[in-house]
Amino acid sequence: MIRLERRLETPRWLGVVIPLASVLVALLVAGVVLLASGHSPVEVYRSMIEAAFTAPGAFSATLVSATPLVLTGLCAALAFRMRVYNIGGEGQLYMGALGASAVGLALGGLPGPVVILAMILAGMAAGSVWAAIPGLLRTYANTNEILTTLMLNYVAGLLGYYLIFDSNSFWRDTTSPSAKVFPQGKTLADSTSWPAFHLGAVTVPLGFVLGVVLAAVMFVVLRSTKSGFQLRVIAGSDRAGRYAGMRTKRAIVLVMLGSGALAGLAGASQVGDFSHLFDPSGLQQVSYGYTGIVVAALVAFEPLPLVLAAILLGGLINAGFTLQGATFPQGLVGMIEGILLLCVLCGSLFGRFRIRMRPAAAGAARTPGDRGSAGEDRPLVEEQEIPILASGSEP
């Protein structure tokens, strides 16, 4: 018989070996699928590495794809580590883009640094407000945050469509010739464009830099502060947290606010770094909020390794756009991403559990009431003799 036994302490070397082995297994499995579809795995992997990292301008394009994944991944990591399952990063990203674009349109005449700072704060505030709704419902109405955050994604998406396609809102462009043919958002002024940093031939968006800084801040806060300790205690057992005098309800709401702020910053980055207008259809097509959960899950919701995972997945996305053609459908790249996720998640299981083997005969010989020796399985309920007292008798 085979059973899984939770590790009391995970060796550090496993944290390095298991992810590398998982990626290697994923490449082997994906290679078999590529061979079955008539493609050479070696050539496909070479082309993907070239398109994602080594070709001129490829790594800059990869960082563009990785920027929202870092921020939405941090959004998921913060909430999931607290065992608050925020699936609403997608909708919170929409609201962040909505808030940032509103501020950019309203303050476009001010100096660039002032407008950019205001856009960042507005995007984070809009994402926080949207995340506060399921946070308060979870805390004070005992609702399931998975359902409420997921449903609010659709509400945010439909709101964005209404503002651009079905109304003459503040965000909609009604004057340019192209907008009269097809509805679109107003283009922001040049002063609202976020700066980029140039490291040799690589261009790093401001949103990516903010994501790296916030990942480092989250790592320090969770590992080395009183607030981080309280979050770890409450995540392990909210009853233990209440017994220790911690305000668990306030902690849940604050975690949802912080998680929504990170997703809102991702939406603001999409407006300030790249699109320079509010584009609800474009945001919904890329589904960065959902992909961020995948990025966080790949590294067990650890903030610093999450940056590397975002770059890896951003490279896969960038390579998919480059390789897509008549003989190489986009679905093959999605297949590789899915196999990678599955293998890494299965590998993480071995980091938390060890496999124990036991002869089947030994297990079959055990009786239901046998308590066994130390370390062996015990029945869930042990038989006890409970005396039945006669009416009126003393215990």
Res 360: pLDDT: 60
Res 370: pLDDT: 47
Distance, CA of 105 to CA of 358 (rounded, Å): 67
- pLDDT, one tens digit per residue, over 341-350 is 788 878 877 7
More confident call, 172 vs 229: 172
Residue 361 pLDDT level (bands cut at 50, 70, 90): low
More confident call, 19 vs 253: 253
As a whole number of angstroms, the longest Cα–Cα distance in the chain is: 94
Give me the residues paired with residue 2 across strands: 357
Give the range with max mean pLDDT: 240-244, 267-271, 386-390.
267-271
- pLDDT, one tens digit per residue, over 136-189 is 999 999 999 999 999 999 999 999 999 999 999 999 998 888 888 889 999 999
Pairing of strands 2-6, 196-199: unpaired
How large a percentage of the chain has pLDDT more than 70?
A: 90
Asked whether residue 318 carries a pLDDT value surpassing 90, the answer given is: no
More confident call, 235 vs 197: 197
Contact 93, 288 (CB under 8 A): yes
Average of per-residue pLDDT across 228-237:
83
Distance, CA of 25 to CA of 34 (rounded, Å): 14
**One-letter amino acid for residue 209 of the chain:** V
Compute the mean pLDDT over every residue in the chain, rounded to the nearest whole number.
Answer: 86
Select from 354, 289, 268 the least CA-distant residue to 90.
289
Average of per-residue pLDDT across 93-117:
95
Res 177: pLDDT: 86
- pLDDT, one tens digit per residue, over 28-48 is 999 998 898 888 889 888 988
Res 372: pLDDT: 45
Which of 138-142, 288-292, 303-307, 363-367 shows the lowest mean pLDDT across its residues?
Answer: 363-367
Res 326: pLDDT: 66
Asked whether residue 381 carries a pLDDT value surpassing 50, the answer given is: no
Average of per-residue pLDDT across 273-285:
93
Distance, CA of 355 to CA of 370 (rounded, Å): 23
334 CB-side CA count, 13 A: 5
R_g of the chain, CA atoms, integer Å: 26
Select from 124, 128, 72 the least CA-distant residue to 307.
72
Asked whether residue 107 carries a pLDDT value surpassing 50, the answer given is: yes
- pLDDT, one tens digit per residue, over 186-218 is 999 999 999 999 998 899 999 999 999 999 999
